[in-house]
Amino acid sequence: MKTSSNLILSLLTMLLLATACNSSTKGNWSDADKKKFREEMNEVEELANFGKNKSAWIECYLRKCEANYSSFAAADRDEKGVEIIAIECSNEILANGSVKGKWSKSDKENFRQKMDAVEELSVFGESKSEWIECFLSKCEANYSSMHEADQDEEGVKKLALECNEYIIES
């Protein structure tokens, strides 16, 4: 009887030590969980689309997963939950420092270049630049970044029509 008690006590002690060395909690993952997370994320080929922002995206994703899950394994089991977090990080990273009502200089420049290249806008003639500025102003007022505006095709169509009306009435 004493031998089985010692065996059980030894097994419990080993289990406790094993979990203590790699214990993750919500908001405080172990170094091993963080390392495994980063390694797995670095193997995801699609993340190459973030270019120079790949590392920033991975760190955002890690930070948010760590804040919401007790461990890497727990996050790995919640496919729908981590998908929402992935989208949040994508929006944050691709926002380029823009916020609703005040886009970054680079978002504004990219927007203008993208619109200036649209052949169909030549119908506005000399008012093309005015239309682009109207559209930029409306998008900036309604979206937190150019990336977010690009995701809402129907919404930006409505804003474009408002600018069409504005230019025609001017």
In contact, 27 and 71? CB cutoff 8 Å:
no
- What the block records as the tokens of 18 is 């094993």
In contact, 159 and 139? CB cutoff 8 Å:
yes
Per-residue pLDDT band at 3 (split at 50, 70, 90): very low
- Residue 81's Cβ-count burial label (10 Å; 0-12, 13-18, 19+) is middle
Task: Kindly tell me if the per-residue pLDDT of 20 is higher than 80.
Answer: no
- Collapsed DSSP state (helix, strand, coil) of residue 134: helix
116-122: Cβ within 8 A, 24+ apart: none
Task: Kindly tell me if the per-residue pLDDT of 11 is higher than 50.
Answer: no
In contact, 128 and 160? CB cutoff 8 Å:
no
Per-residue pLDDT band at 99 (split at 50, 70, 90): confident
Compute how many other C-beta atoms are within 10 angstroms of the C-beta atom of residue 108. 18
Task: Give the DSSP letter of residue 95.
Answer: T
Task: Kindly tell me if the per-residue pLDDT of 159 is higher than 60.
Answer: yes
Could you report the per-residue pLDDT of 107-133, keeping only the tens digit for each?
999 999 999 999 999 999 999 999 999
Per-residue pLDDT band at 5 (split at 50, 70, 90): very low
